[in-house]
Structure 1
């Protein structure tokens, strides 16, 4: 017995973005493995190298490798590498998520207050819902960015590097996905409805 798809849902969007999503997950796992075998600075440099290689490879293949989430992952890896080179300090690498989270949150919140005409609309094209309000989506993503940046800061400050590495690779992803589901409900006007 097949279940009807919710109104406004287009599974074809997810099909088109599955390779960039898998690449983003692979980049996160690469960072984790290299950090466990070496240190955070080396992991950041290796990750940035892999990200740059993907961007270059994208010019030669027709499959979308770095669209959507994967391009954001490459951006995160480049910031990690920059912080690792600039400060030569594990704490700077740990703080990359907080730094990028606050910057992106400010940008999303500003865009949301202006109706979501830039970032909100850009993000909407990667999502399987056709009934998303770009302004609400941008505001919600800004709030999620601030929450995740704050959580990363707390874990980086109070936990060991191994605990932070596990948290940043595995735990924060699931926390963020749960929050993003709430953002989607909010952006679709369903946050406080019973359906």
Structure 2
């Protein structure tokens, strides 16, 4: 099962039961491999590998069972880096060596506040009222970090549903936790 998907995180204790022992019927994506038909146009592989999307925008990006949709961020990458003018990737943001850093930063909640807020919103829907996550989502929806920012100076990333704890001058980063205390 793909890492950080709902199928993987739903496994009790992180163990996938084996349907072959006869105790449970096979359920694709649950206790048996999920099989998906994939069509490939091998003549267009190079064009598509040199461009961002479109599946990130259409299907979203899933991290720890939470899916966010980086549509505006893909548009920002295209504006900053250019878009393919021909081939299978026509109109898609280009990903050459100079632009790859923009494409790495854009769909991440730690460097894009809008996506962090969207992810925290999805987590808040799951855990219910009183979690403090809606307030945390509102507090992180700041401007995105772009590659030129990181070239000029060190840039602190924001809290994100992906893996970051609240960071403040009196609190250091703590992986795999979400701190929702507020003053």
Q: Give the shorter-chain TM-score range.
A: 0.3 to 0.5
When normalised by structure 2's length, the TM-score is 0.34
More helix by share: 1
Q: Which has the higher contact order (CA 8 A, sep 6+)?
A: 1
